Structure 1
Amino acid sequence: MRKIIGFIFAVMFVPAAFAQSPEKGWTSLFDGKTLNGWKKLGKATYQVEDGMLVGTTVGKSPNTFLMTEKEYGDFILECDMKMEDITSNSGVQFRSHINPEGNNGAGRVFGYQLDIDPSARKWAGGIYDEGRREWLYALSLNKNAQDAWKNGEWNHVKIEAIGHHLKTWINGVPCAYVVDTMDAAGFIALQVHSINKPEQEGKKIWWKNIRIKTSNLKPEAFGKGVYVYNAIPNNLSDYEKKNGWKLLFDGTSTKGWRSARGNAFPAKGWEVRDGQLNVLGSDGKESTNGGDIVSLKEYAAFDLSWDFKLTPGANSGVKYFVTLREDSKGSAIGLEYQLLDDTLHPDAKLGLNGNRTLASLYDLIKAEKTSRFIRQPGNWNTARLVVYPNNHVEHYLNGVKVLEYDRGSQAYKELVANSKYKVWPSFGEAPKGHILLQDHGDAVSFRSIKIKQL
């Protein structure tokens, strides 16, 4: 009789055991009871409360991280998160590492981070390069995802890292898409950010249901039309191609470009080398060497991005809605995304209220930016310019939107009337035009020039 009862109990127990086991292919990184498998770097505290992992901020501490003891390469990671303080910051590190010399020998974490920013700028879900390049994908690049994070509620967070492709989701909403080759593997870590205000001390961050899948990975569809930050020079991912992106520079030739003053590409003053399209320096003499170059095609509504590298003191620009109909000396006329070394070039102090500085709409609207988002001459920066079908225009610098305006609006016309462009009727209001790379006499390099017609 005891054997029969024991057999019945065993049969009853089996379904319950399977119900509690992890979904096939997934491994829990947090057992809900202990911090086994994790180690801490920093002064903030982590503890287990009611099956949740809880981080608490402390004063006078750099960023603190609770790191997995194992490293992971390709994976899909999911967890649920909630934050108490919406003025602070947190995140989930992945493919990350430690610089033992950082923070005065205490060690500093560096690597990719799914950023959790619950503040008014709404950047939760973006990808940040902690301790290294900073923002790779500020969520201003994907406005449709900026309301995905819900303050005061549990939020479902997902990271997909397969090969060079890094994707994030918040509550099922596609957020950031980065293609990058910097790190192939590293640890995962939960961040408690440093704080700079006494009232931020003692605030909690909660995590639960932390799990990872490392085999039989299949990339999840990412919706349509999300901008991709692709750090591989002159490369388009399959996703970008399917969403209508095309390269305007293939990295090896001048195909698709010609002189702004003729049908052929300039015989001098420009070169293609090492995957870069370079305008050669000529002592700062505008359009006296090779001169400006323009795209063969004209564009109306479009999404355009490019990488650029300035030399110290350099001046250049990318112009749009260039018609070539104006009888102008020097550079051709058009709306201009200004490229400038704000520190060394005197043009930064001219114009009105800084409207000739880097990323500005030249001579019309100043780019509102902070120094931390500018990579100085000798380093690559990424610019993005969007012209919507309704003539709303946006300038971005390294993922951050720095200005916007409405082409042809009354406010726009008033700006033109008070600028040097007032001599050209209906300046910048053509229905379509060429993209122009400027020869201002200074050495500047371009790469990864890509465009999508809207």
Structure 2
Amino acid sequence: MNTITTKLLLVIACCIITSCIKKEEQTPWIDLIQGNSLEGWTILGGEASYNVNDGVIIGTTKANTPNTFLTTNEKYGDFIFEIEYKVDPTMNSGIQIRSNSLPYYRDGMVHGYQIEIDPSKRAWSGGIYDEKRRKWLNPLDKNTEAQAAFKQNEWNHYRVEAIGDTIKTWINKVPAAYLIDDKTASGFIGLQVHSIGNNKEKLGKQVMWKNAKILTEDLAKYSNKSPLEPIETKNMLTFQEKKDGWKMLWDGKTTKGWRGAKLDKFPESGWVIENGELIVLATGGEESTAGGDIVTTQDYSNFELQADFKLTPGSNSGIKYYVDTELNKGPGSSIGLEYQILDDALHPDAKRGSHEGSRTVCSLYDLIQADTKKPLKPIGEWNTAYIKSIDNHVEHWVNDVKVLEYERGSKAFLKLVSESKYAKWPNFGLLDKGQILLQDHGDRVAFRNIKIKVPQKKKN
């Protein structure tokens, strides 16, 4: 290689290095750790301690206290975040993003996405866990390169991009997780010291963080591509749901497993499938004759059911259970216990009913009013209904919060039925098994993520 070529290569290399340094210097990062101060942060959850020394936050375990989180006072929606951490090899930890502490949710318990810190042999550091909600969403069981990237007893670097419904992570510049999920759009960032119970061997162990910085503007300019295949949760079972025995009740694409309540096939009109949503169309606000209610082709006895629903202004619908469309032909053939879906503010049904408030959203229709403090998202956004019916004990939940419960067949239940519109139907609500029904009430309402879990029969 001659001298001219050598000099030219050196100039090119210098230009590249200078350009990279200049680009990094120009990136408008906002530092989240200010010197030796924890200003801008608040401790939530447990009683583990946090202090800061030369820009390094040190979290120390304490016995007999729940998970503890040092959380930013500011909440972030879309962002790019980087941080370095070092963890004791015996400890589990994590970094919360888009997380919250809300009075109605388990008395303020911290919940939300967590970027796992896992120094164990499992090595899932950089995976995405849903703290106090759905558990594992994007583990690293199939990402051996990311598993090998964690450095024991050394500083590790995380990069997290949360933009729209997409969360991507890197550990020491190795792509770790790629999740598409729209459960929570914003929340604080939190540094976790995991609970240790009464484990004396883990008492006083530490997790350390430094160089925490965030971007909140011009994110497309600074976002990195990930070579990983994304894990999507829309109309899919999560890693944890598969382990726990959940099944999809609607596949997100076809009408398989469903038929018209008064038909032997799916309605030809009145319902559409668009962008992974099962939508009942508006036909004037009365119970529709265009499409009509739809029911599962299978019956269910004990079950857990969850479904996302999205209302339009003034709309009305419902999820019925223990329905037998063959029991009574005609208008009464679709009766059943109903989880009410309603725009309480605009639909007049909210002020009607045999019992006060019993036709409001999430209520047991015409029988039991849901908790008035129910945590609903605004009309036009997705809410998650959850119905659990095991051995006649029934619960209604919305957005992970229980809003009512009752015992099928109890004296209190029978009294409520006798005072309601259902009194004329013998043994109403007492079927051993029945279909799940989605109601067509003539208003546009969308459903997705419809899943069911049936308890396994105990072996003798």
Q: Same fold (TM over 0.5)?
A: yes
Residue 370 of structure 1 and its aligned partner are, at CA, apart by 1.9
Q: Partner residue of 1:184? A: 168
The answer to whether 1:337 aligns with 2:339 is yes
Distance between the aligned counterparts of 1:400 and 1:311, measured in 2?
Answer: 22
Determine if contact 1:245/1:451 at 8 Å carries over to the other structure: yes
Q: Is the 8 A contact 1:91 1:113 kept in 2?
A: no
Please name the residue that 1:392 is paired with.
Answer: 393
Query: What displacement does 1:361 show?
Result: 0.3
Which residues of 2 match residues 29-428 of structure 1 at below 5 A?
A: 40-42=38-40, 53=49, 80=61, 91-93=69-71, 98=76, 111-113=97-99, 121=106, 124=109, 127-128=111-112, 165-168=128-131, 177=135, 179=137, 182-184=166-168, 189=190, 209-211=205-207, 232-324=233-325, 325-329=327-331, 332-351=334-353, 352-370=355-373, 373-388=375-390, 390-428=391-429
**Cα displacement string for residues 8-28 of structure 1 (whole angstroms, at most 9, x for unaligned residues):** xxxxxxxxxxxxxxxxxxxxx
How far is the alpha carbon of 1:79 from its aligned partner?
Answer: 5.9
Between the aligned partners of 2:242 and 2:292, the Cα distance in structure 1 is 31
Code of the residue aligned with 1:317 in structure 2: it is G
- Counterpart Cα distance in 1 of 2:338 and 2:384: 16
Check 1:396–1:45 CA distance in 2 against 1; reply closer, same or farther (3 A cut).
closer
TM-score, scaled relative to structure 2: 0.60
- TM-superposed CA distance for 1:313, in Å, is 0.4
Question: Could you give the per-residue CA deviations for residues 140-190 of structure 1, whole angstroms, max 9, x where no partner exists?
Answer: xxxxxxxxxxxxxxxxxx9x9766631548xxxxx7516385543599535
Instruction: Identify if the C-alpha distance between structure 1 residues 356 and 279 changes in structure 2 by more than 3 Å, giving closer, same or farther.
Output: same
Q: 2:299 is paired with a residue of what secondary structure?
A: strand
1:329 deviates by 1.9
Structure 2 SS opposite 1:40: coil
AA at the equivalent of 2:129 = L
Please tell me the residue identity of whatever aligns with 1:385.
Answer: I
Give distance in 2, aligned partners of 1:328 and 1:411: 29
Rounded to whole Å, the distance in 1 between the matches of 2:385 and 2:105 is 24
Do the aligned residues in 2 keep the contact of 1:303 with 1:452 (CA within 8 Å)?
A: yes
Conserved in 1, the CA contact under 8 Å of 2:136 and 2:240? no
Q: CA deviation at 1:91?
A: 3.5
Structure 1 residue 332 displacement after superposition: 1.3
**Conservation of the 8 A alpha-carbon contact between 1:312 and 1:341:** yes
Structure 1 residue ranges (4+ consecutive) displaced by more than 6 angstroms after TM superposition:
35-38, 43-46, 66-71
Change (3 A) 1:36 1:278: closer
Match of 2:217 in 1: none
- Flag the 1:241–1:98 CA change in 2: closer, same or farther, 3 A: closer
Whole-Å Cα distance in 2 between the matches of residues 421 and 337 of structure 1?
15
**Equivalents in 2 of 1:375, 1:397: separation in Å?**
10
Letter in 2 for 1:184: K
Shift of 1:208: 5.7
Return the TM-score normalized by structure 1: 0.60
Q: CA deviation at 1:262?
A: 1.2
Unaligned runs of 5+ in 2: 1-32, 79-95, 115-119, 139-164, 171-187, 193-202, 210-230, 456-460
Q: 1:67·1:190 contact (CA, 8 Å) conserved in 2?
A: no
Q: Deviations over 1:230-262 (max 9, x none)?
A: 982101123322322110111111110000001
Look up the SS of the partner of 2:370 in the other structure. coil
Cα 1:38/1:308, change in 2 over 3 Å = farther
Change (3 A) 1:120 1:296: closer
Q: Which position in structure 2 is the counterpart of 1:443?
A: 444
Distance, in Å, in 2 between the alignment partners of 1:277 and 1:323 is: 22
CA distance in 2, matches of 1:245, 1:336: 22
Indicate the RMSD between aligned Cα atoms, in angstroms.
4.5
Give CA deviations for 1:107-127 in whole Å, capped at 9, x if unaligned.
Answer: xxx93338598x995664x51
Unpaired runs of 5+ residues, structure 1, are 1-34, 47-51, 56-65, 72-76, 101-109, 131-157, 170-174, 192-206, 214-229
**Per the alignment, do residues 425 and 111 of structure 1 end up closer, same or farther by CA in structure 2, a change over 3 Å counting?**
same
How far did residue 42 of structure 1 move? 3.1
